[in-house]
Amino acid sequence: MNVSLTAASTGTGNQEVDFKQDRMNLGKDDFLRLLITELRYQDALNPVDDREMIAQLAQFSSLEQMQNLGNKVEELARAQKATQAASLIGRTVTAVNSDGEEVAGKVTGVEFYGEYMYLTVADRKILFTNVLKIS
């Protein structure tokens, strides 16, 4: 089945790209809506084959499991980053602050704000990903 995608221009290219990417990724809710719509409008004299229905339900189950696995991998990656950041407490690091200046000193703390982790180095908050050197 060929599906064409059209998006209204909002004046910014990024929003249009985001819209296109969102529409190209079907989630489990979209799949379920398609399945229900297919069942609602099927020909009563020629219903969907049982094997085809089972295959579609298996695809739905696989999609849900893949999404669950992806969520767990993301959680694992966040936990691993948090462990790495916490392991730097007491160590000396060199990093770049938000002004682009190099800051060196002992890590005295770690703070978490959503997906971002900040190290406290020389009384400054340094983004964990901006660490250049660990001594």
Q: What are the tens digits of pLDDT across the range 73-109?
A: 999 998 898 898 899 999 999 999 888 889 999 999 9
**4-52: pLDDT as tens digits:** 444 444 444 445 555 555 555 666 677 778 778 877 877 767 766 777 7
Number of domains in the chain: 2
Establish if 8 belongs to a structural domain: no
- The per-residue pLDDT for 29 is 77
Answer with the one of 83, 104, 123 that is the final residue of a domain: 83
Predicted model pTM: 0.54
pLDDT of residue 60: 77
Q: What is the rounded CA–CA span in Å between residue 81 and residue 116?
A: 10
More confident residue, 117 or 28: 117
126 and 68 co-located in one domain: no
Residue 121 has pLDDT above 80, yes or no: yes
Query: What pLDDT, on a 0 to 100 scale, did the predictor assign at position 3?
Result: 44
- Same domain, residue pair 21 and 51: yes
Q: Is 31 part of any domain?
A: yes
Last residue of a domain, one of 61, 83, 105: 83
Q: Which domain holds residue 95?
A: 87-134
Q: 3-state SS of the chain?
A: CCCCCCCCCCCCHHHHHHHHHHHHCCCHHHHHHHHHHHHHCCCCCCCCCHHHHHHHHHHHHHHHHHHHHHHHHHHHHHHHHHHHHHCCCCCEEEEECCCCCEEEEEEEEEEEECCEEEEEECCEEEEHHHEEEEC
pLDDT bracket for residue 118 (50, 70, 90):
very high
Same domain, 95 and 77: no
Q: How far is CA 49 from CA 30, 39, 60, in A?
A: 21, 11, 17
